[in-house]
Amino acid sequence: MSAAAPAAREAAWSELLSALRGKLAPASKLAEREALGPKTTLRVGGPARLYAEPATEADLQALLAESHARGLPVFMLGRGSNLVVPDDGVDGLVISLAHPHWQAFEPRADGRVWAGAGLRLKNLCGLAAKAGLQGFEFMEGIPATVGGALRMNAGAMGGWTFDVVDEVRLVTLAGETRAMKKAEMHVDYRHCAELGTAVALGAFLRPRAHADGEAIRRQIEAYQKKRQEAQPREPSAGCIFKNPPGTSAGRVIDECGLKGARVGGAEVSPVHANFIVNRGGATCADILALVRQVRARVKEARGIDLEPEVMLFGRNWRDVL
């Protein structure tokens, strides 16, 4: 990079900021150098160069279009439950759909339910139980927003997010809005290809059946109990590695004797070996060092290359591993 490049980039950020200040509705939030750690479940990492919570679809479009026009990168933040934020932060525009505008839960006459991308899965499950709509119970303990769950095709208790999806509404990073049926999308284990380069606005979901709200709540409670017994309570980003073919990452890490391994404030959870927890004061550097240590030990002992399931926000794992 030439010496002039950082100055040019700073100028592009200032320009973007002034263009957006004149355009966004007063209810939309725009802030420089907003701390991201507290907005994630792992609670590590630095600030976003620019941070926005649009209150309308028009404002979201403006944020995307103005950044795109200047070649500045945009990153979506959901509940931050699958993210490790670098200690020096994210050199990009981080957009969160935290404004109530994005939290709709609307049963429709055709039997589908519209769920906004900012709606928390916990709330989705509660509202569905209240409406007597069955099929979403498996999502209750996943601490995600609908947008993040779609991007990751999050799953639990034998169910996957896309099992209940009929259609996704999205906007591309260039600002084009589109509706896509599930069959048109490329969805896999913890992955939805289309949402790698687009923002989910929400989805039409299809309940499996109508059922008694009490019966739905009992199923939710049974899943909650199972989760409480199997998962640590400390801050984490959930499972740190994807399951390798034919086995579970947690089992392999445990068999390598790594439960309780520590670097600074980061620890391989003694409760579930595929969770790295923040025991207090952990940094992103601690997490990365422990990830490298676990991968090296598992490779040496079992010949398996563990792939991270969590995302390194704004960066690529291959650049740091």
143 binds ligand FAD (CB under 6 A): yes
Query: Which residues fall within 8 angstroms of residue 85, CB to CB, at 6 or more apart?
Result: 36, 37, 40, 42, 44, 45, 46, 284, 313, 314
Beta carbon of residue 3, minimum distance to ligand FAD (angstroms, whole number): 32
Contact 93, 16 (CB under 8 A): yes
Q: Which is nearer to ligand FAD, 159 or 207 (CB)?
A: 159
Nearer to ligand FAD, 83 or 113 (CB): 83
Which of 43, 99, 101, 151 contacts ligand FAD by CB under 6 A? Answer: 151
Residues 192-211 that bind ligand FAD (CB under 6 A): 195, 199-200
Question: CA 109, 114, 120, 125: dihedral to nearest 10 degrees?
Answer: 30
**The one among 90, 142, 268, 304 contacting ligand FAD by CB under 6 A:** 142
Q: Hey, which residues between 68 and 87 contact ligand FAD (CB under 6 A)?
A: 75-83
Q: Where are the alpha helices (DSSP H) in the chain?
A: 4-21, 57-69, 121-130, 146-152, 213-230, 249-255, 284-302
Taking the least distance from each CB to ligand FAD, the nearer of 20 and 152 is: 152
Residue 104, judged by CB atoms within 10 A of its CB (0-12, 13-18, 19+), counts as middle
State yes or no: residue 43 binds ligand FAD (CB under 6 A).
no
Site for ligand FAD in 214-273 (CB under 6 A): 231, 236-238
Closest Cα to residue 106, out of 213, 181, 185, 204?
204
Residue type at position 48: A
Binding residues vs ligand FAD (CB under 6 A) = 41, 75-83, 97, 117, 142-145, 147-149, 151-152, 154-156, 195, 199-200, 231, 236-238, 311
